[in-house]
Chain A
């Protein structure tokens, strides 16, 4: 069965601290993975895609097939990074399976 697990409901850090939001997945094939972000009072939007290996707003995520993980990282958190973050998986179909989300709070 396809599943995405985000073990932390809430992650609180101070500005300038490193951030790592955890995402683990369960999928028998080769998954495509995504991170979505929802800022306060805004719609859910795509942050980055595994397939593009990009860095967006200083965030990166590496697919580790051995550990079945796709953790989101940023070396120095900013206050404007405070948001809800969702990890999502796409298998053979065009459906996305989402995790339960992690709320990131960055304190000044």
Chain B
């Protein structure tokens, strides 16, 4: 079973703080993704990575950055947290997504106050 682990289930941060969300997978998948999940808006892609040190912007990258120094770890960084970044953040991994889809982590619910 692929395991995708997100380091925190719940986080509360103050406006302006720098926030790190970590995602680790143990199945050697090349592709990793960060989405945010909001009611009525579904899942929106923030950033993704096809390989170590590679990153590409998704549909809503503003206010976020990412880091992928090792194949198994993909970090999402909120440079200066704002209240409109309060959301559920989901990490996903995949190989040959067309055939097999993604495996998701359990999510991190971030509240920015």
Contact = CB atoms under 8 A, between A and B. Distances in A.
Interface of A: 6, 9, 32, 34, 36, 43-46, 49, 51, 86, 88, 90, 94-101
Contact of B101 (A6, A43, A46, A99): A46
Contacts of B105: 43
Contact of A94 (B42, B50, B104): B50
Interface string B19-63: 000000000000101010000111111001010000000100000
Interface of A is mostly: strand
Interface of B: 31, 33, 35, 40-45, 48, 50, 58, 90, 92, 94, 96-107
B9 to A, nearest CB: 11
Contacts of A94: 31, 50, 94, 96-98
A98 B36 CA distance: 11
Which of A32, A88, A94, A99 has the largest count of B CB atoms less than 10 A from its CB? A94
B42 A101 contact: yes
9 contacts: A36-B101, A43-B104, A43-B105, A43-B106, A46-B101, A49-B99, A94-B98, A95-B45, A101-B43
Contact of B90 (A34, A44, A51, A88): A44
A36 B105 CA distance: 13
A70 B46 CA distance: 25
B108 to A, nearest CB: 12
B42 A86 contact: yes
Contacts of B31: 94
A9 B45 contact: no
Given A9-B40, A86-B42, A95 B48 contact: yes
A34 B50 contact: no
